[in-house]
């Protein structure tokens, strides 16, 4: 079972909704392993809510198991002896109980009983919505859960809230590895991302290298298999999706380069990228200065999950090493030489998230144009800030050189008339305080890891 660490904001949201004492039909969804069940169980523990998890089995077996779970919860020997024969019986029973109901893996029930959303709609319209009902429908199939929000769904317009549970941020993910220094925490986050079940796999008594070799690069381990498992659960034609994801992981971020690398037709790539975006696996970015992002021709595609990015870049491309059980060789020849650059890309994203907290009144993002790129640009009506991020130890000479280059590049950003400020984020800046006394804005990993 995934440990419950953080998720404070999401738990507070559920607490607030429950205290309103109004009818609530909530859809909670997110990718597998992201911590949905842990969140529900924590909420159930605090509110004595009825938690039911569905399984992939026949409708009869599903009703029988739910009957047993409910009978055990309410200490009801009659229900235990005579399980529900249909969902009418189940909903009528729950109507007699003034208690939150948390239904996990709801898509499994819909698979065997396609009429279930329609049945629930009727009971919601006629009975549950007339009282202070609190029902959460939870699922890992993003496709199925988001279809319940669509116009064609019987539940369209009934749900009162929807919560997409996303992977943890770096600040929250590092709580899973509290014994490690911040640099190793960040490197592990670059590899594993913010999926709780993945973070739990690493052993803090071992080095980062040994964890990757033993847990990621070994054949048939949970981490080595789960990426493909998750994708196959969601996708009907996974092989083409694998090619597109692998291409993006290699650095092909524009539509044209993805098409050239995969050999797939433009229409196919466009269609599959749209699906991957709907699944929240791929995101499209444009320069922060673009006035019409949806129409911009400068859009690039990036993998949103660090572990998918790591696995497809370093493991999927070199599965022959894994099959031949040569994980140490894979680490030494293919991963280690590129690891610093890979971590540097993730450090840029972490620094951008940190900057968004430091400058809440600004619109922040990346900027690029042709051969010029700036890691962080922030815009407000009065001023603009420009930041450069380096995953390395920086001395004074390097800081001054980077600032000089940053000022030169800023002249190409179309933000005329605004006051400009410049800053640097490095992995480590030993003379940080000295530079700050000179009026320079310099930050490092220690600043990023400091609690707000």
Q: How far apart are CA 197 and CA 80, in angstroms?
A: 34
Gyration radius (Cα) of the chain, Å: 25
What are the boundaries of each domain within the chain?
8-164, 176-347, 359-449
CB 273 within 8 A of CB 243: no
What is the rounded average pLDDT for all residues in the chain? 93
Identify the pLDDT of residue 147.
Answer: 81
- Do the domains at 8-164 and 176-347 have one common CATH topology? no
Q: Which of 312, 336, 340 is nearest to 213 (CA)?
A: 336
CB 26 within 8 A of CB 145: no
Half-sphere exposure of 276 (CA within 13 A, CB side): 27
DSSP 3-state of 285: strand
Task: Report, at the CATH architecture level, how domain 359-449 is classified.
Answer: 3-Layer(aba) Sandwich (3.40)
Q: Which of 44, 65, 71, 39 is nearest to 53 (CA)?
A: 65
Which structure tokens are listed for 23? 């009818």
CB 7 within 8 A of CB 42: yes
Q: What angle do CA 40, 43, 44 make, to 5 degrees?
A: 85
Q: 162 - beta bridge partners? A: 27
Give me the residue label for tokens 């949201």.
13
Give me the residue label for tokens 């699944």.
279
How far from the centroid of its chain's Cα atoms is residue 363's Cα? 22
Q: How far apart are CA 63 and CA 90, in angstroms?
A: 8
CATH number of this structure's domain 176-347, picked from the four choices 1.10.10.10, 1.10.3470.10, 3.90.1150.10, 3.20.20.100: 1.10.10.10
State the first-to-last Cα distance of the chain, in angstroms, to the nearest integer: 30
Could you tell me the fold of the domain covering 8-164?
Rossmann fold (3.40.50)
Q: Where are the extended beta strands (E) located within 159-205? A: 161-164
Give me the residue label for tokens 């530079």.
435
In the chain, what is the greatest distance between 2 CA atoms, to the nearest angstrom?
79
For residue 399, give the H/E element and its range: helix 396-410
Identify the pLDDT of residue 50.
Answer: 96
Identify the pLDDT of residue 416.
Answer: 76
Using a 10 angstrom Cβ sphere, with 0-12 exposed, 13-18 middle and 19 or more buried, the burial of residue 415 is middle
Q: What is the pLDDT along the chain (452 residues), one digit of tens a residue?
A: 445 677 888 999 999 999 998 999 999 999 888 999 999 999 999 888 999 999 999 999 999 999 999 999 999 999 999 999 999 999 999 999 989 999 999 999 999 999 999 999 999 999 999 999 999 999 988 877 878 877 788 888 888 998 999 999 999 999 999 999 999 999 999 999 999 999 999 999 999 999 999 999 999 999 999 999 888 888 877 888 999 999 999 999 999 999 999 999 999 999 999 999 988 899 999 999 999 998 899 999 999 999 999 999 999 999 999 999 999 999 999 999 999 999 999 999 999 999 999 999 999 999 999 899 999 999 999 999 999 999 999 999 999 999 999 999 999 999 878 899 999 999 999 999 999 999 999 999 999 998 76
Q: How far apart are CA 140 and CA 35, in angstroms?
A: 10
Q: List, in order, residues 6 or more apart from 260 with CB less than 8 Å away.
A: 252
CB 51 within 8 A of CB 74: no
Q: Where are the extended beta strands (E) located within 84-237? A: 101-104, 134-139, 161-164
CB 100 within 8 A of CB 50: yes
Q: How far apart are CA 240 and CA 272, in angstroms?
A: 8
Q: Which of 267, 251, 283 is nearest to 259 (CA)?
A: 267
Query: Order of strands, edge to edge, in the sheet holding 161-164?
Result: 50-53, 101-104, 134-139, 24-29, 161-164
Identify the pLDDT of residue 313.
Answer: 96
Helix 87-95 / helix 116-126 crossing angle, nearest 10 deg:
30
Q: Which of 138, 157, 141 is nearest to 149 (CA)?
A: 157
């Amino acid at each position: 079972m995934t440990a419950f660490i953080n998720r404070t904001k999401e738990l507070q949201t559920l607490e607030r909704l429950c205290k309103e004492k109004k009818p609530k039909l909530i859809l909670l969804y997110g990718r597998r392993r992201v911590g949905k069940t842990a969140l529900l169980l924590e909420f159930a523990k605090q509110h004595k809510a009825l938690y039911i998890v569905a399984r992939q089995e026949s409708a009869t077996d599903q009703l029988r198991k739910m009957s047993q779970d409910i009978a055990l919860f309410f200490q009801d020997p009659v229900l235990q002896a005579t399980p529900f024969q249909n969902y009418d019986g189940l909903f009528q029973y729950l109507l007699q109980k003034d208690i939150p109901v948390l239904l996990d893996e709801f898509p499994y029930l819909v698979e065997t009983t396609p009429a279930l959303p329609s049945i629930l709609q009727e009971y919601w319209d006629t009975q549950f919505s007339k009282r202070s009902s609190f029902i959460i429908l939870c699922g890992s199939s993003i496709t199925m859960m988001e279809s319940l929000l669509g116009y064609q769904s019987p539940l369209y317009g009934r749900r009162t809230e929807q919560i997409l549970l996303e992977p943890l941020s770096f600040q929250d993910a590092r709580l899973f590895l509290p014994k490690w220094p911040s640099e190793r925490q960040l490197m592990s986050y670059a590899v594993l991302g913010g999926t709780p079940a993945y973070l739990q796999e690493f052993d803090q008594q071992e080095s980062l290298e040994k964890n990757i070799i033993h847990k990621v690069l070994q054949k048939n381990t949970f981490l080595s298999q789960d990426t493909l498992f998750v994708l196959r659960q969601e996708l009907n034609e996974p092989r083409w999706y694998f090619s597109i994801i692998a291409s993006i992981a290699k650095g092909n971020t524009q539509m044209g380069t993805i098409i050239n690398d995969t050999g797939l037709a433009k229409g196919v790539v466009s269609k599959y990228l749209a699906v991957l975006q709907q699944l929240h696996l791929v995101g499209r970015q444009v320069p922060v200065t673009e006035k019409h992002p949806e129409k911009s021709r400068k859009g690039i595609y990036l993998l949103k999950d660090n572990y998918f990015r790591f696995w497809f870049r370093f493991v999927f491309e070199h599965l022959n090493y894994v099959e031949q059980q040569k994980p140490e060789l894979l680490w030494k020849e293919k991963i280690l030489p590129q690891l610093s650059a890979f971590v540097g890309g993730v450090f840029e994203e972490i620094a951008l998230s940190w900057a968004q907290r430091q400058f809440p009144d600004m619109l922040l993002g990346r900027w690029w144009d042709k051969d010029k790129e700036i890691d962080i640009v922030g815009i407000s009506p009065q001023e603009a800030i420009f930041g450069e991020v380096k995953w390395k130890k920086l001395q004074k000479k390097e800081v001054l050189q980077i600032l000089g280059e940053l000022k030169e590049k800023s002249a190409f950003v179309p933000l005329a008339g605004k006051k400009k400020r410049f800053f640097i984020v490095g992995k480590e800046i030993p003379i940080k305080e000295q530079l700050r006394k000179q009026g320079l804005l310099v930050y490092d990993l220690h600043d990023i890891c400091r609690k707000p």
